Structure 1
Amino acid sequence: MGSQSEDRREQGKVAEGSLARLAKGPAAKYVGFALLLAWHYALWFVPHAFVQTELLDERVTVSWLLNLGATVLFLFLIALLLGRKRHLSSYRWLAWAAPALTTAATLALCLAPFSFTAPGVAYALSFFLGATEAVMWILWGERYACVKANFSIKHIGTVFGFTLLACVGTTLLLPPVAATAFVALLPLASGGLLVLARRDGTCSFPALLPKHAAGGGFKSMAVVCAISFVASFASYFLAAVIPWEVLPTEVSSFTFGILGGAVLMLAIAGICIASKDKVNIFKLYPWLLVFEIVAFSLFLADKALYFPSFVAAVGISSIFEILLIMYFGILMSKGYSTPAMA
């Protein structure tokens, strides 16, 4: 019996060691954050993630907007409270508390019969999810700052593309309750990888540049944000004006839009891997704008082309989000801002 126990402990250590190596590999270290992004897309873009109501029910739409607004609000509040010297990862219990609370709130929002019967409950849960999601975003950002992640397009593009395809695709294929359970487990998986990755003890953050030296970086941030805002607004506007009822996949078209974005991200990563030159993020922006023009052209050309236009619009908006994550990650690693502010 004692020998069997020792063997099991050894097997457990080997498995844990393998997961730890996975959590900090050159490309695989991005899996944890990709799972968090996949959770958001699977929750709000797959029709049967909500067992109690339809995806395009007004109450779900309001819940999604509240979730987005709360995430932004808490990101700013936490960054302001932390300032330039403190870090959220100092509170080590958050690495397991935030994922656990995110999972519990996701299950309550999607499965509880009373969640949308009394919309206030759904709105409160969505707002709460914004807070836990913001905490997880910052914790992952601080982790990447400590390990000096370079946010390479070929690494993060490949990982994000495959993770979104796998997670969102699996959610689409699973029956309703199983799909909800799968989505709810994604934050736990993300948090588990974060806890494992942090066991290497690496906690040295990049030295922050003086405020006067970082001024140029903030100007660049403002320009990139403005371009991304206008382009993303146009993408969501196009998706909003195309009547989903006439699309062949109806409400599932939103899911296929995210899957289309994942495929496009993989294509970009593939081009970067095949190319001998290091591809700059800024070089991708004009191409995304070209794709967006193509999407509008398809919409204006013929009603039969509404579906590819819709998929392109939703997919391009998700690509802008991933590129912004990469851009701010690079500025963070160079000391232009704290991980929380980035």
Structure 2
Amino acid sequence: MDSAYLIHRYSDLCAEADRNADLGWRSFREDGQKRRFPLTAEIIDRFADYIFGGIGFEVRNDFFGLMPSTEGAILRRPELSDEQRSQHLQTLSDLFRSMWSAFNAAGVAPKTWLPLITADNVVGGLLLTLTIDGQPLLVSSHTIRVAPRALMMRAALKGVPSSVLEIGGGHGRFVRDVLKLAPGTRITYCDLPFNLLLAARYLTRVFPGDVHLAWDNTPIPDTARITIVPPWRLADIPYSIDACCNFLSFQHMQADNLAFYGTALHQLGVRSIYHVNRLTPYHDGEVALDDYPFRDVYETESRRFVASASKSHWIDGQEHKSGSVDQIAEVLRLKQ
């Protein structure tokens, strides 16, 4: 699938989204802004070189404080000076050493987690090379930060489920990592339309021939390794799903969004939810983790503290911090 074809399909997907806009899934704050971006094949081909919100890259780590546009204009990632690049490499090296120590202490072999931090180098982005035991390893700030998620999920659920649904997956990196850990797993990926487009571009390059776009009203096959589905088609999934995963996405949703997804998961018979999200709200309209509406059918099996995330606002490229919010990793089980 080339980018021109995906952009054409995306136009139809947006029209379908508008026809299903009142079901409870839509976040006008996020989806409406992204849909104003003028898209070209070059932008989609190299989307990690451009600054979008909510696709897995971060202002501080990947774009050096440059915020996504709110006016529909797409900004390119700034080029680094030699000094910035040196500092960035040092930061990545420090993060890598910390990760090595943590995985070693947990008994996770390097051959398991090193492939998860590698960059695919198919959609652009700021990539750097680390030398491990004399061998070059292409990485990025994003790949090192996100790599532990699949291993955390595996540990929390005591194995990688045979069928996983991710809600709010950005551009699809977690999907890739799960399939590196467990190549036989079936993945269903669900997000808002713009993210579906970028995930389709990424995943069809990394897993050519293995991706089905369930973007129209035709029946969803039960044979695809990866199915990319919009929220309003979750009810059409014809196969069973063992677990749903969500990372730092439920925390942005309003109560009606969370209720929509909770109902969909219950109807699909999803037995487990593994998620990492803020414990308390940050922005207006968000919901505290303990108040997620689907707790009437899912109950907490385990919970642990993950990190304390800084509350911050960016003004003219400068970060202004104001306290912090705890991030919690939790396993929920369907009530009997």
TM tier, shorter chain?
under 0.3
TM-score by length of 1: 0.22
Structure with a larger share of its residues in helix: 1
Structure with a larger share of its residues in strand: 2
Q: Which has the larger radius of gyration?
A: 1
TM-score by length of 2: 0.22
Greater relative contact order structure (CA < 8 Å, 6+ sep): 1
